[in-house]
A and B are shown apart, each in its own frame.
Chain A
Amino acid sequence: MITKLNVASIYVLDKEEALDFYVNKLGLEKGNDIKQGDYRWLTVRVPGDSNTEISLEVPGSPLHDEATGAQMRELITKGAMGGLVFLTDDVRGLYESLKARGVTDFTQEPTDHFYGTDMGIRDPFGNPIRILQQ
């Protein structure tokens, strides 16, 4: 029986820029940051939740050949790749905090639905992020 989601990966164009966005803007915390030769195993996670890490991967060598990497970067920047959904206890407060931290790429301002209130943003590369208050 599978018991936890341990690591999910998203593709970004630059790990340092991604780390700045996910930690300093969105408010996640850095998880693993391990150099193995040219490869950097870099993860972020919800503060205090060490069960599930989000691995930040960059398309291209050594995971993909250059042509494949270029295709993936095109898809990321078109917003055609998968994204992340987070839960929060205060979506409107977070919306104001994100704006104060200079986040501008909102795809949806906080909106009430029968299942809760959610908002949408994009990371600097085009990946969609939903944040829901249930």
Chain B
Amino acid sequence: MSRNQRRGTIRDVSRETEDLNRRLLRARDAMDRAYAESLDVPAVAAVAHISPAYFSRNFRAVFGETPHHYLQRRRVERSMFLLRETDRSVTDICLDVGFTSLGTFSRTFREIVGETPSAYRAGNSPMLAPNCVQMMAMRPLGSAFATYAAGAEAHLSSFGEASNSAAA
């Protein structure tokens, strides 16, 4: 029996949930793959083949945070990696991971990690775990995870910059 031939209402609802999850996961993967690029919600929602507003709402329901916050944590994780593993400048790393302003990068980094990029670099050395393990396990949760995710929900139209209101 193929997946398309499952019968019954409960299975149909379940199947819809699974299909939506899989499409949201595909969009989340696109953020993990293209975090360094200029991403916005409509572009990522298009990967899931759903409208931007429906995407943001369902992404949060399925993964527990807004797509904006997910992407910021991925960018900060990658910046932590570069701070540990390279001697590139903080400004270069900010641009490497997809931020367009040093101020936004520094503020987002501080909010999520709890210290400045320079202080983090001074206190941490390269890691030996495989990169995929680092990307899965080292992505920072952020001390104000729930608050930040709630604040970021207002920004459904753009990933690029956290506004001042989100940081306040």
Contacts and interface: CB of A to CB of B under 8 A. Distances in A.
Interface residues of B, number: 21
A70 to B, nearest CB: 5
Contacts of A17: 2-3
Interface secondary structure of B, over-half rule: helix
B18 A107 contact: no
Interface stretch (B21-29, B137-145, B158-166): B21-29
Contacts of B63: 78
Contacts of A76: 18
Place the interface of chain A in its size category: 20 to 34
Q: Among A17, A78, A111, which residue has the most Cβ atoms of chain B within 10 A?
A: A78
B17 interface: yes
Interface secondary structure of A, over-half rule: mixed
In the A-B complex, list the 4 residue pairs whose CB atoms are closest, starting with the nearest. A77-B21, A77-B22, A77-B18, A79-B25
Interface of B: 2-3, 10, 14, 17-19, 21-22, 24-26, 28-29, 32-33, 62-63, 130-132
9 contacts: A13-B3, A13-B18, A14-B3, A74-B14, A77-B21, A107-B29, A113-B131, A122-B25, A126-B25
Interface of A: 13-14, 16-17, 66, 70, 73-74, 76-79, 105-109, 111, 113, 115, 118, 120, 122, 125-126, 130
